C-alpha cells in the first residue's frame, strides 16, 4: 500500500483542539476535575497555560492516593493559578475532617476571588467542627454543605455572614450541640430566599430561630431534637416539613403552600394559617397493621384540619380519611370548616388494603358540606386483589380473545387466497401439457405402425429414432403433469387446512359468539368452499391424466418388447430370465437397438444426437 506522506504530515500538523476559542476550551475544562484540567497542558503548546485561567474549580481527594498528596496538589495549583481571574464556583469533595489546613486554604482563596457558588462534601467519620472561615463571604450566592456519614459535623453557633447568599443547602450536620436558650444562624443572610435542611440536629437548644427577611421557600426534613422553631420570614410562601420532631412551630401568616409529613398530627397548628391555598398532609398513624386508630388520633386530626379552613386545594393520604371515618360522632360535632375548597385529593399510602377504605357520609359532609361543587379525587387508590373467580374469568376472556384474533387472521387470508391465483396461473400450462400428451401419443402410434411395416432392420433406423424421441417427449410431458398435480394437491391441502383450523377454533366459542365472529366473512366461506371443489376437480383430472398415460406407456413398452423378439438378433434381445421384465426390460432392449443403430451412422453429430435423446428418456 502506498501512503501520501505529505498529506499525512498535514493532518498531523493540524491541531484542531488548539484552534478552538478559549471560551469553549474553558467550558470543556469546567466539566472535569481540576487535576485533569492541569493534565491537559500536555496536549499542545496552546493548552499549556489554559488551566491557570479556569474559573470553575473542582477538587476531589478521590483522584489521589492519600490526603497529603491531595493537599500538596491543591497548594501548588493555587500558587500557580492566574490570580487575576475570579473564581465563579468551587466544588470541594474530600475525606476526613473539614478542619484540615487545605480546606481553609481553598476557602480563603475562593472567598478572596469573589466566589459565587460553593459546594463542600466531606466524608468525615469522626466528630469535628467546620472552620469559621467557611461562613463568611460577601460574594457567595449559593452554598451547599453536607457530610456523607452520620457523624457529628458542627457548624459555628454565631450568625453566618453571607449578605449576598440566596440559596442554602445543609445536610447531615449538627447546627448546635451545647446548652443554649437561643440560636440564630441566618439573620445576616439578608438576601436568602431558599433554605433546605436535611437530616440535621439542633441539640440542647430551647429556641431555634430561622430569621431571613426575604426567605420564600423553607424545607425542613428529618430534623431532630427541635423544641421551639421560630420562622421569622414575612415573605415566606412555601413551607415543607417532613418527619421533623418539632414541639412548637411559629410561622408567618402569609404562607400560601404547606406540605407536612409525620407520624402523628402536630400540636402546633393554630389559627395562624389564614392565607393557605394549597395544603398536602401525610400522616402515618400506623407503625404496624395491628395498631388500631384511637379516638385521640381522630380528635387531633380533626383539630388540625380545622386550621386549614382557607385552603382551596387539599391533599390528604388515605390514613387520615380512614382515621376520621371510624369516629363519625366526632365529625358530627364539628361543622365543616372548608368554605373555599375547590379540590380534595385522597392519595394512596401504598397499603395493600387501600381498596377497603371508604369515605363515610359524615366525613364527606365534613369536607364538602360547604363546597358541594368541589372536585373529589380518589383515583390513585390501589384496586382490590382479584379473586380466583376473577382470575379464571380473566383467563377465559384472554383465551377467547386469542381464539377470535386467530380466526379473524385466517379469515382475512381467505379474502385473497393465493391458491386461487395459483390455480388460474396453472390452467394454461395444464391445457398445453394435456394437448401435448395427446398429440405425442397419437404420433407415437403412427410411427410404431411404420416401424412394423418396414422390412429389414437397417431400414428401420429413422423410424426407431423418431420413436425414441417421441417416448422421451412423452416422459417429459408426463413429468410436467405430475408437477402440476403436486402443486394442485398442495394448494388443496393448504386451503382445506385453513378451513379445518377455522372450524376447530370456532368450536371453542359459544354459538352466539361464533355466529357474530363469522357473520362478516360469510362470502369468504362460500368462496373458499367453491375453491376447494374446483381444486379437487383439477387434482382428480390431473391424477386421471397421469394414471392414463403411465398405463399407456407401460402397455406400449410391453407390447413393443414382445413384438421385437422375433425381428431382432438373439444377442440384442432382452433376457427373459431377468426379474425386471417390465419397462426396464424394454429400456434395455431399446438401448441395444440404439447401439446397433449408432453403429450404422457414420456422421458423428447424428450419433451424438441419438445419444442425448436416449439420455433424456
Q: Quick one: 545 and 411 in the same domain?
A: yes
> Is residue 131 predicted with pLDDT exceeding 60?
yes
31 secondary structure, DSSP code:
T
> Is residue 127 predicted with pLDDT exceeding 90?
no
Segment 438-447 mean pLDDT: 83
Q: Quick one: 339 and 268 in the same domain?
A: yes
pLDDT of residue 600: 42
Alpha-carbon distance 564 to 585, whole Å?
Answer: 12
Higher pLDDT among residues 287 and 264, named by residue = 264
Alpha-carbon distance 428 to 430, whole Å?
Answer: 5
Higher pLDDT among residues 468 and 114, named by residue = 114
Q: Is residue 530 part of a domain?
A: yes
Q: Is residue 589 part of a domain?
A: no
Q: Measuring CA to CA, how many Å separate 399 from each of 388, 403, 404, 406, 515?
A: 16, 6, 9, 11, 18
Q: Measuring CA to CA, how many Å separate 409 from each of 182, 394, 405, 566, 599?
A: 79, 22, 6, 68, 67
Q: Which domain holds residue 376?
A: 253-383
pLDDT band of 225, cuts 50, 70, 90? confident
pLDDT of residue 379: 67
With a CB cutoff of 8 Å and minimum separation 6, the contacts of 491 are 419, 422, 423, 535
Alpha-carbon distance 100 to 120, whole Å?
Answer: 13
Q: Which helix (H) or strand (E) holds 375?
A: strand 375-377
Q: Quick one: 440 and 375 in the same domain?
A: no
The total domain count for the chain is: 3
Q: How many residues does the chain have?
A: 617
pLDDT of residue 366: 93
Each residue's pLDDT tens digit, 21-43: 888 888 888 888 999 989 888 88
Q: Quick one: 282 and 413 in the same domain?
A: no
Domain boundary among 549, 564, 579: 564
Each residue's pLDDT tens digit, 78-88: 999 999 999 99
pLDDT of residue 191: 96
Lowest mean pLDDT, pick from 253-267, 390-404, 597-611? 597-611
pLDDT of residue 566: 39
Q: Quick one: 379 and 403 in the same domain?
A: no
Q: Is residue 39 part of a domain?
A: yes
pLDDT band of 502, cuts 50, 70, 90? confident
pLDDT band of 597, cuts 50, 70, 90? very low
> Is residue 609 predicted with pLDDT exceeding 70?
no
pLDDT band of 602, cuts 50, 70, 90? very low
pLDDT band of 229, cuts 50, 70, 90? very high
SS3 349: coil
Q: Is residue 63 part of a domain?
A: no
Domain boundary among 383, 410, 435: 383
Q: Count of CB atoms within 10 A of residue 293's CB?
A: 17
Lowest mean pLDDT, pick from 272-276, 466-470, 533-537? 272-276
C-beta of residue 236 within 8 angstroms of C-beta of residue 218: yes
SS3 376: strand
Q: Quick one: 486 and 408 in the same domain?
A: yes
Burial of residue 258 (number of CB atoms within 10 Å: 0-12, 13-18, 19+): buried
Lowest mean pLDDT, pick from 12-16, 327-331, 514-518, 582-586? 582-586
Phi, psi dihedral angles at 83 (to 5 degrees): -75, -10
Q: Quick one: 404 and 540 in the same domain?
A: yes
> Is residue 383 predicted with pLDDT exceeding 60?
yes
Q: Is residue 73 part of a domain?
A: no
Q: Quick one: 408 and 538 in the same domain?
A: yes
pLDDT of residue 73: 92
pLDDT of residue 445: 81
Lowest mean pLDDT, pick from 185-194, 372-381, 429-438, 443-452? 443-452
Q: Quick one: 368 and 268 in the same domain?
A: yes
Q: Chain-wide mean pLDDT for the chain? A: 80
Each residue's pLDDT tens digit, 277-314: 999 999 987 545 556 788 888 998 998 898 888 899 99
Each residue's pLDDT tens digit, 198-217: 999 898 899 999 999 999 99
C-alpha cell at 540: 382428480
Segment 399-426 mean pLDDT: 81
Domain boundary among 350, 383, 416: 383
Where are any strands of DSSP class E within 69-159?
A: 89-95, 117-123, 128-129, 142-147, 153-154
Lowest mean pLDDT, pick from 49-53, 161-165, 297-301, 446-450? 446-450
Q: Is residue 571 part of a domain?
A: no
pLDDT of residue 424: 83
Q: Quick one: 285 and 419 in the same domain?
A: no
Lowest mean pLDDT, pick from 143-157, 218-232, 598-612? 598-612
pLDDT band of 607, cuts 50, 70, 90? very low
Alpha-carbon distance 229 to 207, whole Å?
Answer: 6
> Is residue 167 predicted with pLDDT exceeding 90?
yes
Q: Is residue 487 part of a domain?
A: yes
pLDDT band of 275, cuts 50, 70, 90? confident
Q: Quick one: 369 and 412 in the same domain?
A: no
Lowest mean pLDDT, pick from 147-151, 250-254, 287-291, 400-404? 287-291
pLDDT-above-90 percentage for the chain: 26
Alpha-carbon distance 430 to 449, whole Å?
Answer: 29
C-alpha cell at 84: 487575576
Q: Is residue 97 part of a domain?
A: no
Nearest to 560 by CA among 599, 597, 587, 579: 587
pLDDT band of 247, cuts 50, 70, 90? confident
pLDDT of residue 211: 94
pLDDT band of 15, cuts 50, 70, 90? low
> Is residue 193 predicted with pLDDT exceeding 90?
yes
C-beta of residue 91 within 8 angstroms of C-beta of residue 57: yes
Q: Quick one: 504 and 537 in the same domain?
A: yes
pLDDT of residue 165: 96
Amino acid at each position: 500500500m502506498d501512503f501520501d506522506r505529505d498529506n499525512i504530515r498535514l493532518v498531523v500538523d493540524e491541531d484542531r483542539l488548539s484552534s478552538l476559542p478559549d471560551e469553549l476550551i474553558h467550558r470543556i475544562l469546567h466539566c472535569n476535575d481540576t487535576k485533569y484540567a492541569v493534565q491537559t497542558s500536555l496536549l499542545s503548546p496552546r493548552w499549556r497555560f489554559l488551566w491557570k485561567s479556569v474559573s470553575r474549580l473542582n477538587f476531589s481527594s478521590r483522584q489521589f492516593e492519600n490526603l497529603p498528596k491531595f493537599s500538596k496538589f491543591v497548594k501548588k495549583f493555587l500558587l500557580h493559578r492566574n490570580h487575576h481571574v475570579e473564581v465563579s464556583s468551587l466544588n470541594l469533595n474530600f475525606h476526613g475532617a473539614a478542619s484540615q489546613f487545605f480546606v481553609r486554604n481553598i476557602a480563603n482563596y475562593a472567598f478572596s476571588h469573589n466566589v459565587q457558588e460553593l459546594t463542600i462534601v466531606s466524608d468525615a467519620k469522626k466528630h469535628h467542627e467546620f472552620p469559621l472561615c467557611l461562613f463568611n463571604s460577601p460574594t457567595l450566592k449559593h452554598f451547599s454543605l453536607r457530610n456523607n456519614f452520620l457523624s457529628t459535623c458542627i457548624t459555628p453557633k454565631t450568625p453566618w455572614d453571607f449578605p449576598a447568599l440566596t440559596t442554602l443547602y445543609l445536610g447531615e450536620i449538627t447546627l448546635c450541640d451545647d446548652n443554649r436558650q437561643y440560636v440564630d444562624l441566618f439573620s445576616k443572610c439578608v438576601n436568602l430566599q431558599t433554605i433546605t435542611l436535611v437530616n440535621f440536629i439542633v441539640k440542647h437548644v430551647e429556641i431555634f430561630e430561622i430569621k431571613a427577611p426575604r426567605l420564600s421557600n423553607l424545607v425542613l426534613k428529618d430534623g431532630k431534637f427541635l423544641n421551639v422553631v421560630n420562622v421569622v420570614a414575612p415573605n415566606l410562601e412555601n413551607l415543607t416539613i417532613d418527619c421533623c420532631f418539632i414541639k412548637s412551630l411559629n410561622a408567618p401568616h402569609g404562607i400560601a403552600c404547606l406540605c407536612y409529613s409525620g407520624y402523628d398530627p402536630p400540636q402546633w397548628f393554630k389559627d395562624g394559617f389564614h392565607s393557605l391555598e394549597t395544603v398536602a398532609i401525610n400522616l402515618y398513624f400506623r407503625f404496624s397493621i395491628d395498631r388500631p386508630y384511637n379516638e385521640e388520633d381522630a380528635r387531633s386530626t380533626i383539630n388540625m384540619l380545622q386550621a386549614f379552613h382557607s385552603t382551596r386545594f387539599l391533599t390528604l393520604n388515605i390514613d387520615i380519611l380512614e382515621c376520621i371515618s371510624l369516629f363519625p360522632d366526632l365529625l358530627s360535632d364539628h361543622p365543616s370548616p372548608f368554605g373555599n375548597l375547590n379540590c380534595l385529593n385522597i392519595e394512596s399510602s401504598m397499603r395493600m388494603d387501600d381498596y377497603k377504605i371508604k369515605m363515610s357520609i359524615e366525613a364527606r359532609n365534613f369536607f364538602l358540606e360547604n363546597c358541594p361543587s368541589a372536585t373529589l379525587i380518589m383515583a390513585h387508590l390501589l384496586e382490590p386483589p382479584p379473586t380466583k373467580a376473577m382470575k379464571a374469568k380473566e383467563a377465559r376472556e384472554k383465551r377467547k380473545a386469542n381464539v377470535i384474533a386467530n380466526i379473524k387472521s385466517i379469515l382475512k387470508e381467505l379474502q385473497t387466497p393465493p391458491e386461487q391465483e395459483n390455480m388460474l396461473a396453472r390452467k394454461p400450462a395444464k391445457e398445453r401439457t394435456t394437448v401435448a400428451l395427446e398429440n405425442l401419443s397419437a404420433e407415437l402410434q403412427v410411427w410404431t405402425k411404420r416401424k412394423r411395416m418396414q422390412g429389414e432392420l437397417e431400414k428401420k433406423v429413422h423410424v426407431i429414432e423418431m420413436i425414441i424421441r417421441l417416448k422421451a417427449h412423452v416422459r417429459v410431458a408426463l413429468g410436467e403433469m405430475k408437477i402440476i398435480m403436486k402443486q394442485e394437491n398442495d394448494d388443496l391441502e393448504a386451503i382445506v387446512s385453513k378451513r379445518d383450523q377455522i372450524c376447530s377454533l370456532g368450536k371453542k366459542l359459544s354459538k352466539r359468539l361464533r355466529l357474530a365472529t363469522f357473520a362478516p366473512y360469510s362470502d369468504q366461506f362460500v368462496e373458499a368452499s367453491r375453491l376447494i371443489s374446483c381444486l379437487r376437480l383439477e387434482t382428480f383430472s390431473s391424477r386421471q391424466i397421469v394414471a392414463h398415460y403411465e398405463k399407456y406407456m407401460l402397455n406400449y413398452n410391453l407390447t413393443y418388447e414382445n413384438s421385437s423378439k422375433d425381428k431382432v438378433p438373439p444377442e440384442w434381445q432382452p433376457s427373459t430370465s431377468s426379474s425386471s421384465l417390465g419397462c426396464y426390460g424394454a429400456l434395455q432392449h431399446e438401448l441395444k437397438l440404439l447401439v446397433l443403430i449408432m453403429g450404422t451412422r457414420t456422421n458423428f453429430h447424428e450419433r451424438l444426437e441419438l445419444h442425448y435423446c436416449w439420455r433424456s428418456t
